[in-house]
């Protein structure tokens, strides 16, 4: 699947939104990619998982893992295409950090592909990588459906796979021209409701 095909599909499914958004990174943006609109269709989710899995060298991973909530379906579909396990890390209410729950386990030396739906700063990817490493697993690659990172991921030192790279401007709240114009940011995504 080419980036153009992916973006055409995203537009048809209403996944590309325009407005004033507060991203989970804390940054503001005039555009938001709502991957849930793509993943709500199982046949589309399966196609996207296969396309992303095709970028991962065969036999190079034992599991795919994502932070809850946004990356769960991505990791699941990529894992299905690769024939490996799919796990997710979720927030611990006491510490606020990501952790494995629900009986999930990573064995020493298991090779993990850490996935997300959309990456902006890579914060959730890094947190999930730490979960894998805390269980003595090995992170061999990372990926996302959409890369909005502006090359922030180069410092990870690992292969990063995505279906499309999008360049939307992002701003710290205090520098946001949309805020200065009197617009109020909407909190979309998995951590908040999109109103």
Q: Say how far apart CA 10 and CA 16 lie, in whole Å.
A: 6
Neighbours of 43 (CB within 10 A): 7
Question: 191 versus 67: which is more confidently predicted?
Answer: 67
- The pTM assigned to this predicted structure is 0.84
Place of tokens 């943006």: 29
Give 88's contacts (C-beta < 8 A, 6+ positions apart).
65, 66, 67, 68, 71, 72, 75, 104
68 token code pair: 């809850």
Residue 194 binned pLDDT confidence (cut-offs 50, 70, 90) = very low
Distances (CA, A) of 156 to 14, 53, 65, 66: 31, 20, 16, 16
Q: What is the mean pLDDT of residues 106-130?
A: 93
Fold of 3-180: Rossmann fold (3.40.50)
Residue 120 binned pLDDT confidence (cut-offs 50, 70, 90) = confident
Q: Where are the domains of the chain?
A: 3-180
pLDDT of residue 192: 45
Residue 8 three-state SS:
helix
Distances (CA, A) of 160 to 90, 136, 152: 22, 21, 11
Residue 189 binned pLDDT confidence (cut-offs 50, 70, 90) = low
Tell me the per-residue pLDDT of 148-177, one tens digit each, with 9 for 90 and over. Answer: 887 666 677 899 999 998 888 889 999 999
The answer to whether the beta carbons of residues 162 and 145 sit under 8 Å apart is yes
Residue 117 three-state SS:
strand
Q: What is the mean pLDDT of residues 182-188?
A: 91
Tell me the per-residue pLDDT of 18-70, one tens digit each, with 9 for 90 and over. Answer: 899 998 778 899 988 888 999 999 999 999 999 999 999 989 999 999 999 88
Distances (CA, A) of 18 to 14, 15, 106, 185, 186: 11, 10, 39, 11, 11
Q: What is the DSSP letter of 155?
A: G
| Strand pairing class (63-67; 28-33) | unpaired
**Which segments of 54-195 does DSSP mark as H helices, in order?**
72-82, 123-134, 177-180
């Amino acid at each position: 699947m080419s980036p153009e095909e992916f973006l055409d599909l995203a537009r048809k499914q209403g996944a590309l939104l325009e407005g004033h958004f507060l991203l989970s990174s804390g940054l503001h943006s005039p555009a938001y990619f709502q991957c849930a609109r793509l993943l709500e269709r199982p046949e589309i989710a399966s196609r996207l998982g296969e396309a992303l899995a095709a970028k991962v060298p065969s036999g190079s991973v034992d599991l795919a893992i994502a932070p809850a909530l946004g990356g769960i379906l991505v990791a699941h579909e990529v894992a299905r295409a690769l024939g490996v396990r799919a796990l997710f890390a979720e927030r611990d209410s006491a510490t606020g950090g990501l952790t494995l729950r629900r009986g999930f386990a990573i064995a020493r030396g298991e090779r993990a592909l850490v996935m997300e739906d959309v990456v902006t700063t890579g914060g959730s990817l890094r947190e999930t990588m730490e979960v894998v490493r805390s269980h003595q697993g090995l992170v061999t690659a990372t990926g996302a459906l959409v890369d909005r990172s502006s090359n922030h991921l180069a410092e990870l030192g690992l292969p990063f796979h995505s279906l499309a790279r999008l360049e939307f401007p992002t701003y710290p709240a205090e520098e946001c021209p949309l805020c200065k114009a009197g617009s109020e940011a909407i909190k979309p995504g998995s951590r908040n409701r999109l109103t």
